[in-house]
Structure 1
Amino acid sequence: MLVNWKLESDVNDYVKKQFENLGLKKLQDYNEESAMSAYLKEALKGAAKTQTKTNFGKPDFHIEKYKQVPILIENKLKLSKLVAQTKDGIKFDDKSISDFAVNGALHYARAVIDSGKYHEAVAVGVAGDNEENVTIKVYYVFGSAPNAYKELSKVTTFDFLENESTFETFYKDAILSEEEKHQILIDSQATLQGYAKKLNKLMHNHNITAPQRVLYVSGMLLSMQDIVDCKGNKVDEGLIPDDLKGVQSETKRDGKKVVDQIKAFLDEREINEDKKTLMLASFGEISKDSQRDELTTNDKEVAQLLPQKENSVTKQIFTFIYENIFKSIDGFGGHIDIMGEMYSEFLKYALGDGKEIGIVLTPPYVTKMMAQILGITSESKVMDLATGSAGFLISAMELMIDHANASFGKGTSRANEEIANLKKDNLLGIELNAEMYTLATTNMILRGDGSSRIEKGSAFNRPESLFMDFKANRVLLNPPFSYEENGLPFIAYGLDKMECGGLGAIIIQDSAGSGKAIKTAQAILKKHTLLASIKMPVDLFIPMAGVQTSIYIFKAHEAHDYDQTVKFIDFRNDGFKRAKRGISEVDNPIQRYQDVIKIYKAGKRAEVSKELWDLDAIFIEDFITDKGNDWNFEQHQNIDTKPTLDDFKKTVADYLAWEVEQLLKSKGEDSSKKA
């Protein structure tokens, strides 16, 4: 006879029985509540589901034996207590975390990742009424952001926990695929752009000037970071909205608090004094106007986020950024350029389309693709001579980290050491514009530092020792296209400063390769090899700019051999459609961005979908000349003008259809006249 459960302990007994059936032993393979390692206990510190959250969290069950990935399990009596969610996702308010199994398990998983002690976790929610009416939901959690989880809908039992082999199989399915990563990247960009529009409106309403807006964002994001010394020891908490009290004294007003926190953060990082001085001068805008620290009625964009009806302008902006951006950073796609997305949005209002200054930032899915084409690994030394907001360096660093984790095992001491070293030594950025320099440095700090080798100044007058010491073997570029010859001299200079055999890629207005930059193009070919040219979509930079661009890929210090062919790829159909309102997917863009890398590598032999690609039409291998004006796809495209039989039949059919239409019209007119 089936007996309904009466207590939550009945659900616990059910879970223990499942573990026993799998051969898992208590205290050896799994534990209950507080019987956990000191390491996990520290990671769960402050994650209690009580209102004060002062104690460490105590999931009903936990397993610590597999791949340094903690499995955190929460149980609830009644199937109705499995999960609380809305159309926007799973809820993380205190009541939902306390009352629902999935919500509680995900809360603990996010907490251990937020602690910095784990990079991933598995959350399991269990709820039921009896042994035959129980549901298990399993999630792979890859960040502390509210949306940084993936439901494993096919996993409905505990069988994946049976042994190392079953967990390994589960883990391979759980981790994000390239398709999922790309989708997160696209979704993240859209989400971030939406926040940027609202934030832009909020700042406009509070009379924050357009040039100040992105400095507010970057500076406030830095002030929210925990202050950590160079050895990784936590010195102080980052600021949260409650720390801004609206106090009117000069030393304690909200803007001053934010700037002081930024200074304390930079001091502990032992950042170069010149760099720190430059950054603090930029961030000083946040505290410059004391009136912005006076209490004022909340703007409607933040009214729901703040309990008090009046707060300082500084706190209103800080709260919006904290709730919508800071909390979501590790849920955004790894290659996303947070500062770049914000800057692009604000630039629309400050400078129209941005053409006047030639600053048009590369979309993150393009920076990722270019970095992948160059085959960047943890051993690469990557350089960007026109760094902008550091979009290319972010993508390069993500690929380096992925490679280190794959080589040495994610979370291992060897991998962590490799990652720390590559962030410090393997990325070089140079940026002339002071504002962009500050954004780039902030962006890299938000990614776990990596800002050590971002320099302020012109790439063309850096000391030779900088390049000799760095020994770059990869260069990625999107130069300011207002520069002479559309910016082609940047890649020429970068290739000259690279190691022999290094690879470089530049996305540039393709008139540079068809005659506008002949002097530099010819000079490049005398010393370096053009490997490939990829024609990009005409609307790629819409709405910032409508320009035709190509990606040129080079091999350094090997003069171009004109008896060797160059790869030409037509990627004008990347699957996206762009307009002023945003970007939409129309033809499998995620697959196309993965496929174009295969096409670059294998040409017409690439194993890609025939439904998506006509390789004969979009891939050409052809020779170029030494003139430096024939680098673009369409210049090598063979257009067959000889009509086929089908063309003739279609023309005749069209003509006959027209004749019939005219005849019917004339008959209609005749009958109307008779009437």
Structure 2
Amino acid sequence: MIIAGLGVVEDDKTIVAPLEIDDLKSKQDKRNHDGVQIMNTISAYLDSKDIPQEKVELIKTNFEQVFIQTDLYKEYQPGESRLKKVYITVKKDIVPFFTKQKYHLDFTGKLFNVLNDWVKVPDGDQNDVVLTPRYVCDLMVRLCQVNKNSYVWDYAAGSGGFLVASMKAMIKEANQIKDKEERDRTINSIKMKQLLGVELRPDMYSLAVLNMFLMGDGSTHILCDDSLKNYSGKYEQGDDKDDDFPADVFLLNPPYSADGKGFNFVKLALSRMKGGYAAVLIQENAGSGAGGSYSRDILDKNTLIASIKMGDIFCGRSSVQTAIYVFEVGHTHPEKKKVKFIDFTNDGYTRQSRRRSSQEVNLRDTDNAIARYSEIVDIVLDCEPDTSYYTIDNGLLITDTITTRNALKEPQKKLEKVHERIDPLRIKKTNLDSELRDKTKLLKNAKEVSEKNLLEDEITSLNKTIVELTKKINKIEPELAEAQKNYDDIFNKIGADWTYAQHKQIDTIPNKEAFESTIADYLSWKISQAIKEGVL
């Protein structure tokens, strides 16, 4: 409806006339009712955009399910359909926000969340769609240092929140260019070439495209596809079609039900990048083992910069503990690299999930949230923060190394040395066991006494040798088991020690205050017991 109300105006020329309230006659004719009028205007809007026809048809199909295939065109009250009733509100109260100024926000994502609160979205509990809050998108954009020259992609785009936040930051910087031609050229490049999102679900894809329409049309490279199975990492339309998309920023909030909790998306996308940064909002335990081989493989060509333990940012929409993992792309993680581990569970916001309440009610800045978010960015980017909420002294910031494949060098050498001793013995024993079986078969079939005596002597000798070999092998096997265990323990830590809690040191030495508190509690308990027993 917003699209219908906006129309298309280019260079002060009306390409598609906005749908006016009076254009909706609330007719009951199925070929000419209000839903048809709205769809006609939407279709004209979409056809005016430079996007492939198959994408236009996909979006139209999704909209037709609402405007054509329902009975919303029927009269809500005499002379007015339900659609017209809603459109009056949209036209008067919402469309002016988009005609007077450009609002850079994930509008359709916010709408999706509002609808999820008010009505039952199909498969809402099973669809694995949890959209990233706007302020978290903005944080991740800043952590990746997105600028006017960045090329940003998202392999699970949802409603396009990360692309909206990126586009906002990129255009903000581009607007600082003084030369108008250069400024316009840069902004056009941002919208037409520098943003790419892939989304599997057609409904979410439609939201992402509409989001970018409302942002001033950065929808060119929003793709409805399977980023893991089908998408090639290339532009799929325009002058750059079939060229590699030169991504240098990757932003992602993956479906947590995916392999490696979603790290499969990360491994694939980062493998296609030559450099840059990535920020991934993901289930925290993906970095403590649940990421499986994906997290290990990611470290082979990328550097983990920071691990940020998040608070309840989804406020009831998802019960999982999340973290943001920040990577520098294209550089193997150095063995001695210090990673920043931050406990950001207190981010300054107070949240509640009251249904049908505004964001101002459900999300309130009660403890300097804006400054706290800026401090996180400064810490990760090695800048001097203006505040000190998260410091090494208060334990909310930890710098520590993580386990890499380099840590396997010594355990692997020890394991190989043990194998050098035991493997030849095992091979020799296997061969002797085979020879013993063959001799035993021959003995059973032997007819001559002399032949039997010879075979029995050979079997006795073989058994003696096998017993001696077995003793030697049994003596080495505990060493092998220990060496293998040491190797496996370190191997299993690679990509599995990325969380804040794993690096937090627990102080077991009691201080004076703890001692005094314990004594006071004990004396209080003794006195209360004495009173109960009548001693006092």
Report the TM-score range of the alignment, normalised by the length of the smaller protein.
0.7 to 0.9
Q: TM-score, normalised by structure 1?
A: 0.60
CA-to-partner distance for each residue in 1:223-256, whole Å, 9 max, x for gaps? 1112235x67322431233321213344432110
Q: TM-score, normalised by structure 2?
A: 0.75
* Cross-structure match for 1:347: 116
The aligned runs of 1:139-538 (5 Å cut-off) are 220-228=1-9, 233-289=13-69, 291-297=71-77, 311-329=80-98, 334-348=103-117, 349-350=119-120, 354-408=124-178, 412-460=180-228, 461-466=230-235, 468-498=243-273, 500-537=274-311
CA-to-partner distance for each residue in 1:266-300, whole Å, 9 max, x for gaps? 11123211111111111112332474223223xxx
Q: 1:380 & 1:475 partners in 2: Cα distance?
A: 10
Q: Return the offset for 1:533.
A: 1.0
* Cross-structure match for 2:463: none
Q: 1:660 & 1:621 partners in 2: Cα distance?
A: 46
Alignment partner of 2:145: what SS?
Answer: coil
Q: 2:98 & 2:520 partners in 1: Cα distance?
A: 59
Q: Does 1:571 align with 2:351?
A: no
Q: Return the offset for 1:376.
A: 0.6
Q: Does 1:620 align with 2:398?
A: yes
Residues 227 and 516 of structure 1: CA distance in aligned 2, closer, same or farther (over 3 Å)? same
Q: Return the offset for 1:326.
A: 2.8
8 Å contact from structure 2 (residues 279, 326) kept in 1: yes
8 Å contact from structure 1 (residues 227, 264) kept in 2: no
* Cross-structure match for 2:387: 609
Alignment partner of 1:428: what SS?
Answer: strand
* Cross-structure match for 2:513: 646
Q: 2:334 aligns with which of 550, 561, 586?
A: 561
1:427 is aligned with what amino acid? L
CA-to-partner distance for each residue in 1:403-449, whole Å, 9 max, x for gaps? 1012337xx34323321221111100111100001110000000000
Alignment partner of 1:234: what SS?
Answer: strand
Residues 310 and 513 of structure 1: CA distance in aligned 2, closer, same or farther (over 3 Å)? same
1:560 is aligned with what amino acid? H
Q: Does 1:584 align with 2:364?
A: yes
Residues 278 and 649 of structure 1: CA distance in aligned 2, closer, same or farther (over 3 Å)? same
Residues 430 and 290 of structure 1: CA distance in aligned 2, closer, same or farther (over 3 Å)? closer
* Cross-structure match for 2:466: none
CA-to-partner distance for each residue in 1:91-142, whole Å, 9 max, x for gaps? xxxxxxxxxxxxxxxxxxxxxxxxxxxxxxxxxxxxxxxxxxxxxxxxxxxx
8 Å contact from structure 2 (residues 97, 103) kept in 1: no
Q: 1:290 & 1:429 partners in 2: Cα distance?
A: 31
Q: 1:521 & 1:232 partners in 2: Cα distance?
A: 52
Q: 2:291 & 2:49 partners in 1: Cα distance?
A: 42
CA-to-partner distance for each residue in 1:312-371, whole Å, 9 max, x for gaps? 011112223333433334799955211111112323442599452211000000000100
Residues 408 and 493 of structure 1: CA distance in aligned 2, closer, same or farther (over 3 Å)? farther
1:526 is aligned with what amino acid? D
Choose 254-263 or 415-424, whichever is displaced more: 415-424
Residues 488 and 405 of structure 1: CA distance in aligned 2, closer, same or farther (over 3 Å)? same
Q: How many residues align?
A: 431
Alignment partner of 1:559: what SS?
Answer: coil
Q: 2:372 & 2:531 partners in 1: Cα distance?
A: 47
8 Å contact from structure 1 (residues 383, 476) kept in 2: yes
* Cross-structure match for 2:496: 629
8 Å contact from structure 1 (residues 504, 555) kept in 2: yes
1:442 is aligned with what amino acid? L
Identity %: 34
8 Å contact from structure 1 (residues 527, 560) kept in 2: yes
Q: Return the offset for 1:534.
A: 0.9
Choose 268-277 or 461-470, whichever is displaced more: 461-470
Alignment partner of 1:257: what SS?
Answer: helix
Choose 310-319 or 377-386, whichever is displaced more: 310-319
Give structure 1 regions of 4+ aligned residues with deviation exceeding 6 angstroms.
330-333, 663-667
Alignment partner of 1:245: what SS?
Answer: coil
8 Å contact from structure 2 (residues 16, 44) kept in 1: no
Residues 523 and 355 of structure 1: CA distance in aligned 2, closer, same or farther (over 3 Å)? farther
Residues 453 and 630 of structure 1: CA distance in aligned 2, closer, same or farther (over 3 Å)? same
8 Å contact from structure 2 (residues 157, 208) kept in 1: yes
Alignment partner of 1:459: what SS?
Answer: coil
2:512 is aligned with what amino acid? L
Q: 1:401 & 1:463 partners in 2: Cα distance?
A: 27
Residues 648 and 520 of structure 1: CA distance in aligned 2, closer, same or farther (over 3 Å)? same
Q: 1:665 & 1:415 partners in 2: Cα distance?
A: 82
Residues 248 and 507 of structure 1: CA distance in aligned 2, closer, same or farther (over 3 Å)? same
Q: Return the offset for 1:659.
A: 4.8
Alignment partner of 2:177: what SS?
Answer: helix
8 Å contact from structure 1 (residues 353, 543) kept in 2: no
Residues 334 and 507 of structure 1: CA distance in aligned 2, closer, same or farther (over 3 Å)? farther
Cα RMSD of the aligned pairs, angstroms, is 2.6
Choose 233-242 or 483-492, whichever is displaced more: 233-242
Residues 267 and 335 of structure 1: CA distance in aligned 2, closer, same or farther (over 3 Å)? closer
1:224 is aligned with what amino acid? G
* Cross-structure match for 1:16: none
Alignment partner of 2:126: what SS?
Answer: helix
Q: 2:244 & 2:283 partners in 1: Cα distance?
A: 31
Alignment partner of 1:284: what SS?
Answer: helix
CA-to-partner distance for each residue in 1:22-48, whole Å, 9 max, x for gaps? xxxxxxxxxxxxxxxxxxxxxxxxxxx
Alignment partner of 1:369: what SS?
Answer: helix
8 Å contact from structure 1 (residues 575, 589) kept in 2: yes
* Cross-structure match for 1:161: none
Q: Return the offset for 1:656.
A: 3.5
CA-to-partner distance for each residue in 1:505-562, whole Å, 9 max, x for gaps? 110001111011121011111121111111111x111221111011111122211111
Choose 489-498 or 281-290, whichever is displaced more: 281-290
2:372 is aligned with what amino acid? R
Alignment partner of 2:363: what SS?
Answer: strand
Residues 468 and 620 of structure 1: CA distance in aligned 2, closer, same or farther (over 3 Å)? farther
Residues 310 and 594 of structure 1: CA distance in aligned 2, closer, same or farther (over 3 Å)? farther
Residues 331 and 658 of structure 1: CA distance in aligned 2, closer, same or farther (over 3 Å)? farther
Alignment partner of 1:558: what SS?
Answer: coil
Q: 1:333 & 1:358 partners in 2: Cα distance?
A: 31
- Give the gaps of 5 or more residues in structure 1: 1-219, 298-308, 671-675
Q: With CA pairs under 8 Å and 6+ residues apart, which has the higher RCO, 1 or 2?
A: 2
Residues 557 and 468 of structure 1: CA distance in aligned 2, closer, same or farther (over 3 Å)? farther
